Amino acid sequence: MVRDKLIQVEIAVAYPELQQIFSLIVPVGTTAQEVVLGADLVKLFPELNVGTVPLGVWGKVVRPEYLLCDGDRVEVLRRLQIDPKKTRRELAEIGGYMGSAGFEDS
C-alpha cells in the first residue's frame, strides 16, 4: 500500500521573536494541511490558526491539499501586517523610499 511508504518533510514557522523548523517522517500521500495539523504547532504558536493559515512549499504558495514529496519544506505563512503599496505611497509623499535594509530617508 502507498501509505506504508514514508517520506521526510520539514515544517518552518517564523515570527520575529521565534523561528522553528521541525523535521517529521510522514506517510506518502500526506497533505500540507495534514502535516501542519498533526504537528501540534499551537503549543509553541498559540495565535496560529492552523486550520486557515496560508501554506507554502519552498517559497511557493500551495493549496492545503497539496501532496507532499520527500524533502519538502512546508512553510506556515503569515498574512502581511501592512499593505506594501500603501506604505510605498505614504513614503513617496514625504520623500522617502523603501531601502534594502528597511525604510530610509532620501
The model carries a pTM of 0.69
Span between the terminal Cα atoms of the chain, in Å:
62
User: Does 56 map to a domain?
Assistant: yes
pLDDT digits (tens, 9 = 90+) for 22-80: 999 999 999 999 999 888 888 888 887 878 889 999 999 999 999 999 999 999 987 65
| Residue span of the structural domain in which 37 resides | 2-76
In a domain, 66, yes or no: yes
Number of domains in the chain: 1
Question: Cell 521573536 sits at which residue?
Answer: 17
Q: What CATH number corresponds to the domain at position 22?
A: 3.10.20.90
Q: Please check whether residue 83 lies inside any domain of the structure.
A: no
